[in-house]
Structure 1
Amino acid sequence: MRSTPSRRATATGALIAAAAMIAVGLQSGSATATPSSAAPAGGITAGTKADPGSLPAKLSPAQRAELLREADATKAATAKELGLGATEKLVVRDVVQDQDGTTHTRYERTLDGLPVLGGDLVVQETTAGKTLSVVKASKATTAQLKAVGLTADVAPAAAEKQALGAAKTEGSKATKAEKAPRKVVWLGSGSPQLAYETVVGGLQHDGTPNELHVITDAASGEKLYEWQAVHNGTGNTQYSGQVTLGTAPSYTLTDTARGSHKTYNLNRGTSGTGSLFTNSTDVWGNGTPQNLETAGADAHYGAALTWDYYKNVHGRNGIRGDGVGAYSRVHYGNNYVNAFWQDSCFCMTYGDGAGNAKPLTSIDVAAHEMTHGLTSVTAKLVYSGESGGLNEATSDIFAAAVEFHANNPQDQGDYLVGEKIDIRGNGTPLRYMDKPSRDGSSKDYWYAGIGSVDVHYSSGPANHWYYLLSEGSGTKTINGVSYDSPTSDGLPVTGIGRDKASLIWFKALTTKFTSSTNYAAARTGTLAVASELYGATSPEYAAVAHAWAGVNVGARPGGGDPDPGGKVFQNNTVVNIPDAGAAVTSAVNVTGIAGNAPSALKVDVNITHTYRGDLVIDLVAPDGGTFRLKNSSSSDSADNVVATYTVNASSKVANGEWKLRVQDVYRSDTGRINSFKLTF
């Protein structure tokens, strides 16, 4: 029997780390919240037009509510069609629709009445209501949900104590859980386990509110997982010049045209909503941080731009799709160098920066934070590990998209994050999408173990992918900003334009991604969307694959894989590996190879696991014969298996289904197969 320290990634919820800043002067100019013309999309646009039927439909709140009612009324029949167990129930969470009437309904699950965490899925249906399929990339897990015992061996108080200890390391001084431990079924580790979910409040080290969720095994008391739910995103503004704001006739910062979005003044407080900005005229702020209305005008304007982008470009009426606006809070804390989103209040909150001189209310930060809200009501990407990096990247991606769409002359679109707020005080942006590592911490390319990196830096490969897909690799200048984007394999990528790249990511987020989507599954989801929109043989589809290969996720299409070994067959579908459970497989179907397999068949394996010595790995030939790739070892405590094996498979016929078979033979650690590749 052996035990290992927990190496599960934890993620702080801040958008940024605290750093010194300098103040800048008032900017002048004029812009409106609804731009007269959108900036042209970057990159070399391929000629394929999107299939109109596959584009998102513009649903009114009433239309969306009716679809939700229909899904709720038929959820029992849907569960039966999906083959769910007798004690499994579906809970409708969201629905989007394509212009051809195809609906994508997002469900949570319950088992014996308990919420199932990590069991979410998306069901695609025709207008007639007949289920077409549950797309593999749209299931949080392929593991079978079997009944679990409802009796806990561990008391709720023990789970609460564990959660309070975890929160204490983040700075929380809470002595009682914000939400008492509740029984759940945890499916995030690959097999169902009875567990407790405890939520602890308080404040983190830098003053950011804390909403730490801790999952505790109800049988052993082991901490299974944790994640942070706080995501850290006429007015005279500080960053965008003089702009037109949506306000109420009574002169309050209430945007009646955009879901009654309101902007509040916390006046250095850290709780509640403070006071709604109210004035005797409809002129707000003077462009300086000393005037408290200025930051309110910036935040109000950024929220309006983000609302307009999602509604006018993607047809989403409010980030929840229900026509209701979130709200904004400015002047949080004192010298607070941060901004954050909270699901619990459905709101964005902004600090004033070092010296209270540089509020974090620029267009891209506002769009970043509001997009966290979009993610929370769609894919609900867990804010930890690779899914947390994709969550952060989603906010950066649409921050750039909103900024370009706004076409504000004082804050032109770019692929930089937070360039106006100057957090570091040296005139540099917070993040760079063309080459993320320029910030000193972000990662340019995917690698095994990236899930253990802070989510703001593991977002780098997805940000880089978006830039490559939009603009392509190499050097170029856009809106006066110079970029030089490399690729992991040194091969070029040609962009298809920012509009198409944004559409592909938006549709993947809302119809393919789930709470546990990782980089491999993001590739699968975006390729599926590109196929639906443009066709599987289109330049756009190929560009998506090339851009992912450019950040080391998957192979180059059409023989462009830098590996010169021969024909490549690869499976990037994620397969969860249950703890001390049955063997699982990832398969590839080999075709077009004459005769037998080579005597030096190359097998590339990419597995995330917190104790790789637990694993036994075999290659299974089409005739059932096996080749042992790796034995278990109780002394091998390192993380992950990222390796290339060579086997003499010359006695086996090449064509047919080859499988990578993986079994965890010890308890206490879990993982997943990320990808499996054969080179003939």
Structure 2
Amino acid sequence: MRRTLTTALAATLAVATAAAITSPAGAAGDPVRAADATTAALAALGARPDGTSPAGEAYTVSRTVTDSDGRTHLRLRRTLHGLPVRGGDVVVHLDRARRATGTDGLAAVAPQTLTPRVSADAAARTAKAAFDGTVTAVGAPQLVVDAAEGGRLAWETVVRGWAPDGQTPSRLHVLADAATGAVYAADDEVKTVLGTGRAIYAGPVRIDTTLSGTAYQMIDPSHGGNRTCDMRNLMTGPCVLFVDADNLWGNYTTSDRASAAADAHFASAKTYDYFRYVHNRSGRTGTGAGITSRVHYGNNYTNAFYDGTQLTFGDGAGNIHPLTSIDILAHELGHGYTDALVGLVYSGESGGIDEASSDIWGAMVEFYAAAPGDPGDYLIGEEADILGTGEPFGNLFDPSLDGSSHSCFGPGTPGAPPHVSAGVGKHFFFNLAEGTGATAYGYSPLCGDVADVVGIGRAKAEKIWYRALNVYATSTTTYTNMRAYTLGAAADLYGSCSIEHKAVQAAWKAVNVTGVTVCGGP
């Protein structure tokens, strides 16, 4: 929630100035300036000089971003009397003189009690019963204060297991009211989607590998050590690194297991380069580290997922439609980048924004990669053909064409599953980049009686979306929030009331997301 400093919550802060600060490309990297910024942020949040007050809250700096013009944005996590505050993260914005100019996400939390009526054992049993699939482990429940629920005291329990399909792993966070024991929310950590590489989808491409002795390995030294390995159509056990004698990988078909690996290896490198060169972000964590891509997972497994540490791809129906195309891989790896930037709660509108972001990254990386066999577009998964119809399983210009996604914000959007509510964010982005009506990439319908939107181009639209996530969004961001954050990002990048600033407002109105009018409309 966007708010001014005059109404900021006076918080108890126990922030060590030596707190670990992840400084992605673009951050200051100067420990003296970082300490000054932390001190300024504490003061903006009402802290005493020693950083504490009797209210019992504590904030720790998790990440800072410093703009080229000297403005700084600090992201902080919160606890209350030692309990984690779910959705309690806050961003403090400072100008070049280290004066606070605003905050985002600073919601007051005032639980009626910090003593649970329901025991931890009962919460664990409830969480296990709420899991849809096969349970393999139930973690110890942890008391949390849920800011998104007005400061509700809750038990958060992580249940591990397998989804109903028997092949998709799950790490489900189950939230139960600590007073009644009723489950009121759940979100899964595992995010899914429905040399020379002779790749199935990308075509003939150059990939970076490592020579070890007389053999080449699919380890990419130019992109953080990205690795690609073979699960051998199993669900467990070691993933075998791809090795080759002549550094020619695959034969453009599924008859050679290295073909799908070449697609994944190429796509992971291009995703790394996209964020590095377009958004100045070195790897998903900002540390330059790459990621492991596991291909040929499971049997007839028609899915792909990011589990917080690695990427995994099935081979699709009949094991002949690997889900290793550029847009699918960039979608999954995009979850890693968005998680590192914001950590959006994977439910409600914030979950939809998470999924929308991944589809946006998938499309933008596909354009960036410019692979000979897979040119850029706003379709999702058209190359993999996992439905067996020759059609994509989604798009950005009119997401409702898939039969379930929302192209327009409506009464059912806030409570819709993330993959469904994501359509609103995807449609907005397409309108902003390409415009409404007939375009070179598809027809984008308007939501209601509103004016057509003239697109500002992908290069500007992607910068606006990334900055909104990077320096404004918090874990429980809604579409109304995202409208404000993208407007702020556009004003930062291109100027208040610029063509780009006005286009953001128009593009949101075209998907039925409205708010405070800026620059006289539309």
Q: TM-score surpassing 0.5?
A: yes
Relative to structure 1, the CA distance from residue 536 to residue 75 in structure 2 (aligned partners, 3 Å threshold; closer, same or farther) is: closer
Tell me, in whole angstroms, the C-alpha distance in 2 between the residues paired with 1:452 and 1:404: 32
Q: Does 1:248 align with 2:210?
A: yes
Relative to structure 1, the CA distance from residue 456 to residue 249 in structure 2 (aligned partners, 3 Å threshold; closer, same or farther) is: same
Aligned twin of 2:482: 522
Alignment of 1:130-145 (within 5 A): 130-135=98-103, 138-139=104-105, 141-142=106-107, 144-145=108-109
Tell me, in whole angstroms, the C-alpha distance in 2 between the residues paired with 1:407 and 1:214: 41
Q: Does 1:161 align with 2:120?
A: no
Q: 1:119 aligns with which of 60, 63, 88?
A: 88
Q: Which amino acid aligns with 2:60?
A: V
Q: Which amino acid aligns with 2:432?
A: L
Provide, for residues 262-304 of structure 1, a one-character-per-residue CA deviation record: whole Å limited to 9, x for no partner. Answer: 1121112223551222222312122211322111111111110
Instruction: Tell me the SS of whatever aligns to 1:388.
Output: helix
Provide, for residues 232-257 of structure 1, a one-character-per-residue CA deviation record: whole Å limited to 9, x for no partner. Answer: 16111100111111111221111111
C-alpha contact 1:68 1:95 (8 A) present in aligned 2: no
Q: 1:289 aligns with which of 251, 254, 263?
A: 254
Q: 2:226 aligns with which of 261, 265, 275?
A: 261
C-alpha contact 2:497 2:518 (8 A) present in aligned 1: no
C-alpha contact 2:275 2:283 (8 A) present in aligned 1: yes
Tell me, in whole angstroms, the C-alpha distance in 2 between the residues paired with 1:312 and 1:246: 18
Relative to structure 1, the CA distance from residue 69 to residue 429 in structure 2 (aligned partners, 3 Å threshold; closer, same or farther) is: farther
Tell me, in whole angstroms, the C-alpha distance in 2 between the residues paired with 1:239 and 1:228: 30
Provide, for residues 385-404 of structure 1, a one-character-per-residue CA deviation record: whole Å limited to 9, x for no partner. Answer: 11111111000111111111
Relative to structure 1, the CA distance from residue 294 to residue 70 in structure 2 (aligned partners, 3 Å threshold; closer, same or farther) is: farther
Instruction: Tell me the SS of whatever aligns to 2:208.
Output: coil
Alignment of 1:155-194 (within 5 A): 155-167=119-131, 170-174=132-136, 176-177=137-138, 179-190=139-150, 192-194=151-153
Instruction: Tell me the SS of whatever aligns to 2:333.
Output: helix
Aligned twin of 2:198: 236
C-alpha contact 2:86 2:148 (8 A) present in aligned 1: yes
Q: Which has the higher contact order (CA 8 A, sep 6+)?
A: 1
- Offset at residue 133 of structure 1 (A): 2.9
Provide, for residues 106-146 of structure 1, a one-character-per-residue CA deviation record: whole Å limited to 9, x for no partner. Answer: 11111112211110111223455x242333xx31x52x234
- Offset at residue 559 of structure 1 (A): 6.3
- Offset at residue 80 of structure 1 (A): 4.4
Tell me, in whole angstroms, the C-alpha distance in 1 between the residues paired with 2:177 and 2:485: 31
Alignment of 1:470-481 (within 5 A): 470-478=433-441
Q: Which amino acid aligns with 1:231?
A: K
Tell me, in whole angstroms, the C-alpha distance in 1 between the residues paired with 2:189 and 2:156: 13
Q: Does 1:501 align with 2:461?
A: yes
Give the structure with the higher percent helix: 2
Tell me, in whole angstroms, the C-alpha distance in 2 between the residues paired with 1:551 and 1:504: 17
Instruction: Tell me the SS of whatever aligns to 2:299.
Output: coil
Tell me, in whole angstroms, the C-alpha distance in 1 between the residues paired with 2:40 and 2:463: 32
Instruction: Tell me the SS of whatever aligns to 1:249.
Output: strand
Alignment of 1:517-666 (within 5 A): 517-554=477-514
- Offset at residue 526 of structure 1 (A): 0.3
Instruction: Tell me the SS of whatever aligns to 1:360.
Output: coil
Tell me, in whole angstroms, the C-alpha distance in 2 between the residues paired with 1:310 and 1:273: 30
Q: 1:93 aligns with which of 62, 79, 90?
A: 62
Q: Which amino acid aligns with 1:91?
A: T
Aligned twin of 2:364: 401
Q: Which amino acid aligns with 1:181?
A: P
Q: Which amino acid aligns with 2:476?
A: S
Instruction: Tell me the SS of whatever aligns to 2:140.
Output: strand
C-alpha contact 1:446 1:553 (8 A) present in aligned 2: yes
C-alpha contact 1:384 1:451 (8 A) present in aligned 2: no
Provide, for residues 72-91 of structure 1, a one-character-per-residue CA deviation record: whole Å limited to 9, x for no partner. Answer: 79757633430265422112
Q: Does 1:464 align with 2:433?
A: no
C-alpha contact 1:68 1:92 (8 A) present in aligned 2: no
- Offset at residue 217 of structure 1 (A): 2.1
Q: Does 1:455 align with 2:418?
A: yes
Aligned twin of 1:325: 290
Q: Which amino acid aligns with 1:187?
A: A
- Offset at residue 258 of structure 1 (A): 0.9
Q: Which amino acid aligns with 1:282?
A: N
Aligned twin of 1:306: 271
Q: Which amino acid aligns with 2:72?
A: T
Instruction: Tell me the SS of whatever aligns to 1:134.
Output: strand
Alignment of 1:22-37 (within 5 A): none
Q: Does 1:278 align with 2:243?
A: yes
**TM-score normalised by length of structure 1:** 0.68
Relative to structure 1, the CA distance from residue 342 to residue 98 in structure 2 (aligned partners, 3 Å threshold; closer, same or farther) is: same
Q: Does 1:419 align with 2:382?
A: yes
Tell me, in whole angstroms, the C-alpha distance in 2 between the residues paired with 1:281 and 1:99: 45
C-alpha contact 2:25 2:282 (8 A) present in aligned 1: no
**TM-score normalised by length of structure 2:** 0.88
Instruction: Tell me the SS of whatever aligns to 1:459.
Output: helix
User: Unpaired runs of 5+ in structure 2?
Assistant: 1-21, 48-52
Of 281-290 and 334-343, more deviation after overlay is shown by: 281-290
Q: Which amino acid aligns with 2:311?
A: M
Tell me, in whole angstroms, the C-alpha distance in 2 between the residues paired with 1:324 and 1:292: 26
Q: Does 1:340 align with 2:340?
A: no
CA RMSD of aligned residues (A): 2.3
Q: Which amino acid aligns with 1:469?
A: L
Tell me, in whole angstroms, the C-alpha distance in 2 between the residues paired with 1:259 and 1:65: 22
Instruction: Tell me the SS of whatever aligns to 1:543.
Output: helix
Instruction: Tell me the SS of whatever aligns to 2:334.
Output: helix
Tell me, in whole angstroms, the C-alpha distance in 2 between the residues paired with 1:518 and 1:210: 25
Q: Which amino acid aligns with 1:522?
A: M
- Offset at residue 208 of structure 1 (A): 1.1
Tell me, in whole angstroms, the C-alpha distance in 1 between the residues paired with 2:30 and 2:316: 43
Q: Does 1:224 align with 2:184?
A: yes
Q: Which amino acid aligns with 1:284?
A: W
Relative to structure 1, the CA distance from residue 63 to residue 461 in structure 2 (aligned partners, 3 Å threshold; closer, same or farther) is: closer
Provide, for residues 320-345 of structure 1, a one-character-per-residue CA deviation record: whole Å limited to 9, x for no partner. Answer: 111111221111111000001111xx
Tell me, in whole angstroms, the C-alpha distance in 1 between the residues paired with 2:363 and 2:480: 23
User: Unpaired runs of 5+ in structure 1?
Assistant: 1-58, 562-680
Aligned twin of 1:195: 154
Provide, for residues 161-216 of structure 1, a one-character-per-residue CA deviation record: whole Å limited to 9, x for no partner. Answer: 1111111xx21333x40x211122222212x2332210001110122111110112
C-alpha contact 2:208 2:219 (8 A) present in aligned 1: yes
Tell me, in whole angstroms, the C-alpha distance in 2 between the residues paired with 1:69 and 1:253: 41
Q: Aligned residue pairs: how many? A: 487
Q: Does 1:430 align with 2:389?
A: no
Q: 2:312 aligns with which of 349, 352, 370?
A: 349
Relative to structure 1, the CA distance from residue 131 to residue 277 in structure 2 (aligned partners, 3 Å threshold; closer, same or farther) is: farther
Instruction: Tell me the SS of whatever aligns to 1:522.
Output: helix
Tell me, in whole angstroms, the C-alpha distance in 1 between the residues paired with 2:37 and 2:437: 51
Relative to structure 1, the CA distance from residue 110 to residue 458 in structure 2 (aligned partners, 3 Å threshold; closer, same or farther) is: same
Relative to structure 1, the CA distance from residue 302 to residue 115 in structure 2 (aligned partners, 3 Å threshold; closer, same or farther) is: same
Residue identity over aligned pairs, in percent, reads 43
C-alpha contact 1:94 1:377 (8 A) present in aligned 2: no
Instruction: Tell me the SS of whatever aligns to 2:224.
Output: coil
Of 246-255 and 297-306, more deviation after overlay is shown by: 246-255
Tell me, in whole angstroms, the C-alpha distance in 1 between the residues paired with 2:506 and 2:297: 43
- Offset at residue 373 of structure 1 (A): 0.2
